[in-house]
Each structure stands twice: as structure tokens, then as C-alpha cells.
Amino acid sequence: MVETELIKKYYHGRIDTDVMSGWEAGKKGLKDAPSHFTGTRFFRWLDGLSAWEKRRKDKSTIVIGYKPGGEKYERRRAGYVSRRIMVTQFERAGCIGEVTVIHMDHATGKLKKHECSI
């Protein structure tokens, strides 16, 4: 899917370079607009950033593991959470063996499944 097609799902105005710049800044985790953006350009940048925030909320992470007694241990988190962080949390919770991490993208319908070992 082309990036502009994805942005159109979350922003219904005209997509220009300022909106794209805000979208890209959101992907990188930046919260401050470039200092030369003033007035309308600043608000268009904020529109792109808020579109990315909406996009980020359309993802979720599900992690499934098992404790030593065979008890199922499952966590669901909103947004994309890295495998490393989730596997470390499951290790601290006492899970052993295989941990399945599933990343769901509700906007595009994509599903990524990863098998990790502790």
C-alpha cells in the first residue's frame, strides 16, 4: 500500500509535504515541529502528526506464553510493542519455552506471527 493511500484513511484533507512531514515525524517519535513551520504550515504538520497517532492506535500486540505448570499466560497491548520487550516481560513473569508474539495491523489487515524462545 502506498504511504499516501494509508494517510488518506486517517486524514481526509489535502495531503502535501507538510502533512507528510508530520506523519514521518510521528513514525520517528518526534513531537516538535521544525522551527521554520509557522501559521498554516505548522497546523498542517500537526494534522500529519495526529494522523500518525490515529494510525498507531490501529495496531495491537498479543503475546502468548506458558508457565511451568502448563498454565497459559497471555497479554494484549494496544499499539506495536517490540518482541524483545514482551519476551523479557514474559521471562520475568516466569514463562518458559516458546512465546508467540502476534502483531496485528487493523488498518491493512496484516498479521505477523513470531515464535520466540525463553
Domain identity same for 113 and 63: yes
Domain identity same for 71 and 103: yes
Sign of CA dihedral 4, 8, 9, 11: positive
**Residue 82 in this model has a pLDDT that exceeds 70:** yes
DSSP track, 95-107: -EEEEEEEEEETT
Domain identity same for 72 and 109: yes
pLDDT score at 78? 87
Q: Which of 39, 56, 73 is where one domain is finished?
A: 56
Structural domain range at position 90: 59-117
Written as one letter, the residue type at 9 is: K
CB 21 within 8 A of CB 45: yes
Domain identity same for 71 and 95: yes
Q: Which of 25, 41, 56 is where one domain is finished?
A: 56
Domain identity same for 49 and 77: no
**Residue 101 in this model has a pLDDT that exceeds 50:** yes
Domain identity same for 64 and 48: no
- Size (the chain), residues: 118
pLDDT score at 61? 95
| Total count of domains within the chain | 2
